[in-house]
Amino acid sequence: MRSARAGVFAIASAGLAGAGHHVASGEPVPWRLLFLAAATAFLGALPWTARPRSLAAVVSATCAAQLVLHEVLAQAGPDRHGAHGTGHPIPGEHGVHPGAAVMLLAHTLAAVAVAVLLQQADDQLDSLPRLLDQLAATVRATVARWLGRLRTHPRPGHDATRAGGRRRKAAGMPAYAVLAHVMVRRGPPGHGQLPSHP
């Protein structure tokens, strides 16, 4: 479960950052860089995935990952000055330009949305073993009930009725004695009477 949590977090973080930078800058993001970012996010998240975390922790981790990935992708951009193609050659002006602020805000909002979805998915996966146990208990109870009905109510012509007939004959009981209290309603009166003695 730890590797699955870390893997989903890494893929979501790297994919979100890559898609955001591609949409904002119009430039393709190198896939090798995204793969490296996902691997780094996976290794960074792995120690923290032993148990489910709170929503605040997931939002904080996702926002931190987006900030780091934002900087890495901005530095790897075509102008390599961190200004996202705005013409500012001074790296210190990165946070001043409105385009950078919009991109940072977009990263933050997307990170919060992804964190909420990751948290909900983790909660659902965390409850999966309990749901599977309930399903298995229901199936076991249903099968036991069906088997119980088959044992107490055998089918007509089943081996148990034939075996019962053999037991009655072996005990010295005549075959017609079993039917002594059967009412015959077909035909004229007195037509279907069974003899009382052999």
The closest alpha carbon to 23, from 81, 82, 84, belongs to 84
* Percent of the chain clearing pLDDT 90 (strictly above): 5
What would the pLDDT profile of 28-53 be if each residue is shown by its tens digit? Answer: 888 888 898 889 888 888 887 777 78
- Predicted structure pTM score: 0.51
Is-contact 36 71, C-beta < 8 A? no
What would the pLDDT profile of 77-117 be if each residue is shown by its tens digit? Answer: 665 444 444 444 444 444 455 667 777 787 788 888 888 88
* Percent of the chain clearing pLDDT 70 (strictly above): 64
| pLDDT for residue 107 | 75
**44 is written with which tokens?**
């960074």
b/e string for 90-126 if b means 16 or more Cβ within 10 A? eeeebeebeebeebbebbbebbbebbeebbeebeeee
Question: What does the alpha-carbon distance between residue 43 and residue 72 come to, in Å, rounded to a whole number?
Answer: 17
Q: How many CB atoms lie within 10 A of CB 7?
A: 16
Question: What does the alpha-carbon distance between residue 77 and residue 44 come to, in Å, rounded to a whole number?
Answer: 24
Is-contact 80 154, C-beta < 8 A? no
What would the pLDDT profile of 118-146 be if each residue is shown by its tens digit? Answer: 888 888 877 888 889 999 999 999 998 88
Question: What does the alpha-carbon distance between residue 17 and residue 107 come to, in Å, rounded to a whole number?
Answer: 7
Residue 13 has pLDDT above 70, yes or no: yes
48 φ, ψ to 5°? Answer: -100, 5
